Chain A
Amino acid sequence: MADKILSGISVATGIAIGKAFFVNRNHKAHLPRQTVSADQVANEISLLHDAFALVEAELSATREHVPAELKDYGLLIDTHILMLKDPKLSGTAEEYIKSLGLNAAWALEKAVADQEAAFGAIDDPYIRERMQDVRVVADKVQAKLIGHEADLEALSGRAIIMAHDLTPADTVELQVDKIMGFATVCGGKTSHTGIMARSLAIPALVGVDKLEDYVNDGDLVVIDGLSGKIVVNPTDDELEEYNERAAFFEDYSRKIKRHCQLPAETFDGSRVKVMANIELVEEVASVIDNGGEGVGLYRTEYAYLNRTELPDEDELAEKYIDLAAIMSPRKVIFRTLDLGADKFISSYGELNEVNPAMGLRAIRFCLKHPKLFKTQLRAILRASAYGNVSLMFPMISGVKEVRQAKAWLAQAKAELRREGVEYDPNIPVGIMIELPAAVMIAEYLAQEVDFFSIGTNDLIQYSIGVDRTNHHVSYLYQPLHPATLRTIKLVVDAAHQAGIEVSLCGEVASDPFCVPILLGMGIDSISLTPQAIPGIKRIIRQTNMHDCRKLLKDVLECRTVSRINNLVMDNIFKHFPDEVSFFTSLLENDEAGS
């Protein structure tokens, strides 16, 4: 057995095998505060300038190796180099050495504090944030002054990067050609680690608890971005197995990528739209590269996170217009703000809730804060003039909520019309079905809107009453629970009876084991992470509706999850043997057996 197997959240798929390399371990090094005698001042000043020059040379060298797909990161390094050259930083530090007799590291700290004061007075939050870059640059110079080699430069061969957390500034300086994978304790799907890993197509895990306790520099580790695991010091047998899996997966990925632009059409001619879930406008390239037919779920939260003020309408509109225009004529579905106590900007102090998942969030939060809601609606409407835009409201629990949300939309439209601003007056409006209440009244809700989108992640949690991030009960989170399947079917049938389209945008849509069942139900479109699109399109193109309907009929008669899993596995073994090797979620999840 391996020393330890840790689990985390996979943010980029694939398998990497290599030596672990920790960064940022010395981050909190103590800064010496001393004064120097008059005859030492000249020496201290030259130490200061040497340290600046050293860091500049290193950054310039790093800059040379930034690949084209990370252009933005390259520009960030340029900014850092300019800050190093800036007399405001080195010059002021030099002044403090001269006038106060401080040692170089302390003098620089004081110069940084001056800048902090200057930046702190600025209203523009974006510019205020640039202070972080000053800090990063100063840290590097101080590390040189006090003799701590910055971690990253010690990276000699190819390695798997481990860290408590990686800031954007850290990631820009990694020599990307040497990185085989990432694992961090902090971070979510939208962290820079994830975005960077996906754009480089290397496996990465975030949220790996106890990473620092169980992994040491130089340990041999396997990052399995398929199942979300880290294997620490595997045995020879395990290593061999993973080597094979890695090679096999690469082969498979290449093969499916070649056909990803073909339509998602079954053997017997049934078409289903395969769209992408995205968080950032920057992800559109991967949507298009992976054969996505549009954006089925644009999560608009990112623009609101990690900041103290709310974004204004122009800022939002600019992003939304970019997205709509780039994707056009493909469709983009905007989900209105889905935030609440679980994740939000600090200015909303009221959001200190005992039970955030059931509290003031998503549409509830927006209806309580109409100004914020209307700002976003206006921005989405403005984007609708530039592309094929729809919008949908999250976490709807009843008809009245839909009507209230639509009333705000109508008001936003009326305002824009009066102001002579262009928008699509017929913008389709949908709702997310993620509460059992919405399922039970789906036939009424269907009369209020143009489409449904089933959000299975929350729907499963609320239906089974399980928090899937809770280690004690997460085994109960079962996409193939008979209740889950019946729930989804109810919604699909209600939508079709009312003559509206229904899509599904939870993780179930990217699970090759579930997709044939969804097809059997007659789902109109699915939306999933862009990287999973080629694999799912391949599944769809290799099946036929007749088999899918048969499978659906069989699973709907099952009383337990294990029975359903067995049926689904049989089906997959028979029709899609390649997929079985990589997507083992079901095999491992069966213990619930409910």
Chain B
Amino acid sequence: MNTNNQTNSDGGNVQSRLVIVANEHGLHARPAGKLAQQAQAFEADILLVYDEQEVDAKSILDVLTLAAGPGEKLEIRASGSDAEQAADALQTLFANKFEE
């Protein structure tokens, strides 16, 4: 799994991680649900970037509409006080295939 940390942008703390959708079905309801739930636990604003689309990782509907299939590459972009923890946590979730 690729990791790409970049700190700083306009004095804020932006964390970026590249991840791959490794579970069998892609970002379907359950993984999207887990992702949104996990993201909601953080203060940071978290974006998922995929295929020129940027969506709110805290929104299950947004995540679902990405329709990212297995093997697709996404970027997690978190900004805010706990951005690093948030980005790490979501990256782990992808790496663990959403515990499926």
Contacts and interface: CB of A to CB of B under 8 A. Distances in A.
A78 B31 CA distance: 12
Contacts of A87: 56, 58-59
Interface in A221-265: none
Contacts of A133: 29
A318 B26 CA distance: 14
B23 interface: no
A176 to B, nearest CB: 21
A351 B76 CA distance: 48
Given A75-B30, A78-B33, A82-B36, A89 B65 contact: no
Interface residue tally on B, bucketed by range = 20 to 34
A325 to B, nearest CB: 15
B64 A130 contact: yes
A127 B61 contact: no
A83 B40 contact: no
A86 B69 contact: no
B1 interface: no
Contact of A86 (B25, B29, B60): B60
A133 B28 CA distance: 13
B37 interface: yes
B56 A83 contact: no
Given A86-B61, A122-B65, A124-B67, A130 B36 contact: no
Contact of A82 (B24, B60, B69): B60
Given A122-B67, A124-B67, A124-B69, A79 B61 contact: no
A348 interface: no
Contacts of B58: 86-87
Contacts of B33: 75, 78-79, 82
A569 interface: no
Interface string A29-62: 0000000000000000000000000000000000
Contacts of A126: 25, 28
Contact of A115 (B26, B56, B61): B61
A104 B60 CA distance: 22
B60 A83 contact: yes
Interface in B55-87: 56, 58-62, 64-65, 67, 69
A113 interface: no
A134 interface: yes
B64 A127 contact: yes
A89 B61 CA distance: 8
Contacts of A134: 61
A88 B67 contact: no
Q: Chain A interface mostly helix, strand, loop or mixed? A: helix
Nearest to A72: B30
A118 interface: yes
Contacts of A79: 29-30, 33, 60
Interface string B15-44: 000000000111011100100110010000
A119 B65 contact: yes
Interface residues on A, range: 20 to 34
B37 A82 contact: yes
Nearest to A129: B29
Contacts of B25: 126
Interface string A122-159: 11101100100110000000000000000000000000
A134 to B, nearest CB: 7
Interface string A58-84: 000000000000000001001100110
Contacts of A118: 61, 65
A403 interface: no
A124 B66 CA distance: 10
B79 to A, nearest CB: 17
Contact of A83 (B26, B61, B65): B61
Contact of A88 (B26, B28, B40, B62): B62
Given A75-B30, A82-B33, A88 B69 contact: no
B30 A88 contact: no
A391 B4 CA distance: 50
A546 interface: no
Given A86-B60, A124-B26, 15 more contacts: A78-B33, A79-B30, A79-B60, A82-B33, A82-B37, A86-B62, A87-B56, A88-B56, A88-B62, A89-B61, A119-B64, A122-B67, A123-B67, A124-B69, A126-B25
Interface of A: 75, 78-79, 82-83, 85-89, 115, 118-119, 121-124, 126-127, 130, 133-134, 318
11 contacts: A79-B30, A79-B60, A82-B33, A82-B60, A86-B62, A87-B56, A118-B61, A119-B65, A124-B67, A127-B29, A130-B64
Smallest CB-CB A-B distances: 8 pairs: A88-B61, A82-B60, A122-B67, A88-B59, A118-B65, A86-B59, A124-B67, A82-B33
